[in-house]
Structure 1
Amino acid sequence: MDITEYIRLVFSDYTLRTITLGTAVLGAVTGMLGSFAVLRKQSLLGDAISHAALPGIAIAFLITGTKDGNVLLLGALVSGLIGTFWIRSIVKKTHLKSDTALGLILSLFFGLGMLLLTFIQKQPNANQAGLDKYLFGQAATLIESDVWMMTWVTGICLVVLLLFWKEFKILLFDADYTKTLGFNTKFIDILITTFIVVAIVLGLQTVGVVLMSAMLLAPAAGARQWTNSLGYMVIIASFFGALSGVVGTAISASQNNLSTGPVIVIIAGIFVLISFVFSPSRGLLFKQIRFIKNRRDLQLHKTLSFMYNIAKTHEDIAHPHAIKILNNFQGYTRGTLQKLVKKNYVNLDGSLWSLTEEGYKTASNLYNQQTKNDE
């Protein structure tokens, strides 16, 4: 399936259009809210919440006896919120760190969820088939009402984000200062956490319990490499998330027996990898380029400073002894000399060199600075 055929099918095929829109909206909202989880250093929170939602799905099914998506997600939401506030209580009321609390709740709730799913699967009831799809997600089960619900939730999150932007931003970077300004930090913190839980629960049907944390964190982690601005980070993370959903859905639709959720997560991971390598400010590639450039500049400055020392201590720099000293200098190469000539620091006449006026001033400053550092 080529790109033109896929675009045509998106507009003509109900299922593909629904899945594409659903994954795009999900990617946007998780990228937007995941930015706050990453900056708050709560990367494991998404993993804990998604796993904590599993017993809620199972209990909702046991109570109702049906696989109504809204009912199951409501159960997941309640279970996820309970797990989240248990984590907060453990951290505040015990000496345990947040990572320990996250690990405890994740293991406890996931173990309970698997136990309940095993119990349900053994019941003589045909309705229980398919509940295990919430472990890894099944995007094909999305319907138009699911997409509308995701869109409404995304819209509400965006409105709340804009209304409380100042409070969220201050709380992220200086919670103590937020308190001194008179803001209710507990309310703001609960508000952020609640929306993160809602976003995770929305994605369980598409990506699943196991992979949902990656959907929350990967777009935000990639966006963080490109900017130092919170606003731009949220926008870039939303874009990465939405694009991961669209591209992942397209690849999954073009191949047989290829699950949509895992493909979306892999695409999001590729965006993170690209960001780690190619982002201008933090990317490994540009860091290496800057390192090489700085090392070459240092080599040039060392050579220029050394030439200044020779010119200062030798009356005749054309003397073989002076030339030998320069040739034996560790930082000296013919290439270095040519670069100094290009910068108009050195004049070269055959094998003879001399400092230009600009080169002499620059070298004098470098030599004096080096002398001070040595002292």
Structure 2
Amino acid sequence: MLTQVLSVFTDYTFQLVALGTGIIGLLSGVIGTYATLRKESLLGDALSHAALPGIAIAFVIIQRKELLFLILGAAVSGIIATGLIQLMTRKTVVKLDSALSLVLSSFFGLGLVVLTAIQNNPNAQQAGLDSFIFGQASAMLSRDVQLIAGVALILLLLVGLFWKEFKCYTFDPMFSRSLGFSSKIIEFLLSMMIVLTIIIGLESVGVILISALLIGPSIAARQWTHRLSGVMILAGVFGFLSGIIGTLISSLGEHIPTGPTIVVVVSLFVFISLLFAPKQGYIAKHILKQKKQKRFMARLTELEGGKQ
């Protein structure tokens, strides 16, 4: 078994895919922290599904599976979906959850219709296009990893440059506006960062599961610390490890899809954190509760003894 694991680590394809999925996991953990803290977890799910018609329409235009153009199409589709969600929630009586559900279902339905039409056309370039639904990390190429790393670097630099603005707007938008920060610019940047994070993860995880990778690491990290910097670092670490471990498990087995395996590993991190985190975990809270009850009963016994 050890020999098999070592042979996998020396395999170039594994190294390439693990690096790509690790970077995606790290970025998803960092950017997903903002979505989780702003209570917009469903936004990632809606935007990931909304990206599908952009991918399909971009393929119709260029007639070949070129990742950069497909990502541009997905980005445009995601931006349109974000604008529609904000328009409906601000200008109409439609609530956020209803707007998210409507955009998710309508855009995903449109994407499936266009993809079905593409699959019915005799075009050899269409092969593997449906992998964006469930993900196919094994098809990742060197230029794909370079593109993912470039986008991740830009987004992480934005997090560093606008750390104070993002932090203030995330926790108290009203106070942020009183300090002179433009809420429209900050919200646009955060939405764009979430959209781009989702898009670069579509090829490896797919539109259906990418929201779990976006939200899971930050939920796990929040069980261990309450500081934003700590949560973000831990979320990035959990996401990075999930990408590598999921890719390793997929490589060791036969016919094990990489994307779903990564999501399963993320879920394990979440459940372990919910149970075993030293302060917020269920076991720690249960032990603390038992100690409080024992102290209370001991104090009660002392008081009863004093009365006698």
TM over 0.5: yes
Offset of 1:277 from its aligned partner? 0.5
Match of 2:24 in 1: 26
Correspondence for 2:269 among 268, 271, 276: 271
Offset of 1:228 from its aligned partner? 0.6
Counterpart CA distance in 1 for 2:265 and 2:225 is: 21
Match of 1:178 in 2: 176
Correspondence for 2:257 among 253, 256, 259: 259
Offset of 1:181 from its aligned partner? 0.8
Offset of 1:291 from its aligned partner? 0.8
Question: So what's the TM-score if we normalise by structure 2?
Answer: 0.98
* Larger RCO of the pair (alpha carbons < 8 Å, separation 6+): 2
Counterpart CA distance in 1 for 2:128 and 2:147 is: 22
Match of 2:11 in 1: 13
Correspondence for 1:234 among 217, 221, 232: 232
Offset of 1:128 from its aligned partner? 1.7
Counterpart CA distance in 1 for 2:245 and 2:76 is: 32
Q: Is the 8 A contact 2:74 2:199 kept in 1?
A: yes
The alignment-based identity, stated in percent, is: 46
**Amino acid aligned to 1:270:** L
Matched positions, count: 308
Offset of 1:8 from its aligned partner? 4.7
Offset of 1:5 from its aligned partner? 4.2
Offset of 1:129 from its aligned partner? 2.2
Q: Is the 8 A contact 2:8 2:252 kept in 1?
A: no
Counterpart CA distance in 2 for 1:25 and 1:40 is: 23
Secondary structure of 1:206's match? Answer: helix
Counterpart CA distance in 1 for 2:7 and 2:235 is: 27
Secondary structure of 2:203's match? Answer: coil
- 1:71 pairs with 2:69: yes
Secondary structure of 1:205's match? Answer: helix
Match of 1:203 in 2: 201
Correspondence for 1:281 among 279, 285, 295: 279
**Amino acid aligned to 2:252:** S
- 1:301 pairs with 2:275: no
Equivalent residue runs for 1:43-122 within 5 Å: 43-122=41-120
**Amino acid aligned to 2:270:** V
Secondary structure of 2:208's match? Answer: coil
**Amino acid aligned to 1:6:** V
Question: Considering only aligned residues, what root-mean-square deviation do their CA atoms show, in Å?
Answer: 1.1
Question: So what's the TM-score if we normalise by structure 1?
Answer: 0.81
For 1:67-97, what per-residue CA distance to the aligned partner results, in whole angstroms no more than 9, with x for missing partners? 1111111111111111111111111111111
Counterpart CA distance in 1 for 2:7 and 2:75 is: 36
**Amino acid aligned to 2:18:** T
Match of 1:290 in 2: 288
Match of 1:147 in 2: 145
Counterpart CA distance in 2 for 1:40 and 1:7 is: 42
Further displaced range: 165-174 or 122-131: 122-131
For 1:117-140, what per-residue CA distance to the aligned partner results, in whole angstroms no more than 9, with x for missing partners? 111111122222211111000001
Counterpart CA distance in 2 for 1:52 and 1:112 is: 9
Counterpart CA distance in 1 for 2:71 and 2:175 is: 37
Counterpart CA distance in 1 for 2:67 and 2:180 is: 41
Offset of 1:163 from its aligned partner? 1.1
Offset of 1:7 from its aligned partner? 4.2
- In the alignment, structure 2 segments of 5+ residues that lack a partner are none
CA pair 161-7 structure 1, distance change in 2 beyond 3 A: farther
Which has more radius of gyration?
1
For 1:146-181, what per-residue CA distance to the aligned partner results, in whole angstroms no more than 9, with x for missing partners? 111111222111211111111111111110011111
Match of 2:134 in 1: 136
**Amino acid aligned to 2:238:** F
Counterpart CA distance in 2 for 1:157 and 1:150 is: 11
- 1:212 pairs with 2:210: yes
Counterpart CA distance in 2 for 1:159 and 1:47 is: 25
